[in-house]
Amino acid sequence: MQRTIATLTALAILAAPTLSAAQTLAEANVKLIEVFDTVQVSTIPDGIYLRSINDPDDVIWERLPEYRVAMSPAPAVHDSVELRINYDAEATFLNMTLAKTSERFYVRLRWIDDTPNTASAFDQFRDGAAVQFSLGDDDTSYIMGDGPDSAVNIWYWRSDSNSVQNLAAGGPGSTTTLEQQAVSGDSMYSANDGDPNEWTVVMSRPIALEGDHNVSLSQDVVPMAFALWQGSERQRDGLKSVSDGWILLDMTPN
C-alpha cells in the first residue's frame, strides 16, 4: 500500500534507535503478565501501515508495548501424551504485542528457539504457534473449549508452510478447519550471534468478519490464550506448551 508523505513522516518518528528484537526479549521493561490479567490492545493510527500486511520486523512493533506470559506443558488429555510430557521442564516464556487499526487486528509473538524446525516428515516435527479465542467468556475451557456451546476459535501458524489456519474446536480432538480462511500471517527466524535465537510470528485478521466460530473482535473484552510447539522437542498435537489460562484483551479505543 502506498504511503502518503504524512505517513512517512510519522514512520520516521517511529524509527528512532531501539534495541534489537533479541535484546528486547531479555529486557525488564517487557511486562510479565499472569492469566486473567487484562491487557490493553494498542491502536495503530489510521494512515500508518506496516511495510507488508504481516511484516514481523516492521519498526512499528518496537514502538508498541510488549508483554510476556509464562508457558508450561499442556495438561494431558490422552494417555499417550501423558507418557511424553516432561513436567519438570524449565519454564519458558512467550512475548506478545497486540495491536489493531480501524480495520485489522494483529498479534505478534516472539519466543526463544535454538533451532528452526520446518520439516513435517517421519520422525521430524515442525515448530508452531497458536492463539486461541473464547467464543463465549472466560468460563470456557482454555484447553480447546469444552463442548459445542463453549467453543473456541484458533489461529494456528505452522513453520513448514509459513501459513496460518483458521480453526475452531469444542474440546480436545474436535479441531475443525473453518470455511472462512481470513486469517493470514508471516514469520522471521533470527539467528543472533551472542543472543538467543528466536522466532517472530505475526498473525492478523480483518476486525469486521462474520461467520460461525469466528471470534468477534468488535466486543470490549476478548479472552485469549496461547500455545507453542517446539519441533526439536518432538512436540506435536496435544504435546505442547500453553499459557495456563485466559488473558483478557481490552479492545476499547486508547
Question: DSSP for 128-186?
Answer: EEEEEEESS-TTS-TTT-SSTTS-EEEEEEETTTTEEEEEEESSTT--EE-S----EEE
pLDDT for the residue 235: 66
What pLDDT is recorded for position 78?
Answer: 55
Q: The domain that contains 11 carries what CATH number?
A: 2.60.40.1190
Counting as low any pLDDT under 50, the low residues of the chain are 1-26, 83
DSSP 8-state class, residue 123 = T
pLDDT of res. 173? 82
User: Tell me, what's the pLDDT at 12?
Assistant: 35
Rounded distance between C-alpha atoms, residue 241 and residue 129, angstroms: 10
Structural domain of 124: 5-250
- Dump pLDDT digits (tens) for 116-161: 989 877 778 899 999 999 999 999 998 888 887 889 999 999 999 9
Q: Select from 77, 123, 100, 50 the least CA-distant residue to 224.
A: 100
Q: In this predicted model, what pLDDT tens digit does every residue of 93-107 receive, in sequence order?
A: 999 999 999 999 999
**pLDDT value of position 77:** 58
pLDDT at 85: 59
Return the pLDDT at 89. 66
CB 172 within 8 A of CB 150: no
Q: How far is CA 119 from CA 52, 184, 230, 239, in A?
A: 26, 20, 12, 17
Give the count of domains, the chain: 1
pLDDT at 67: 97
Report the DSSP beta bridge partners of residue 186.
202
CB distance 249 to 222 below 8 Å: yes
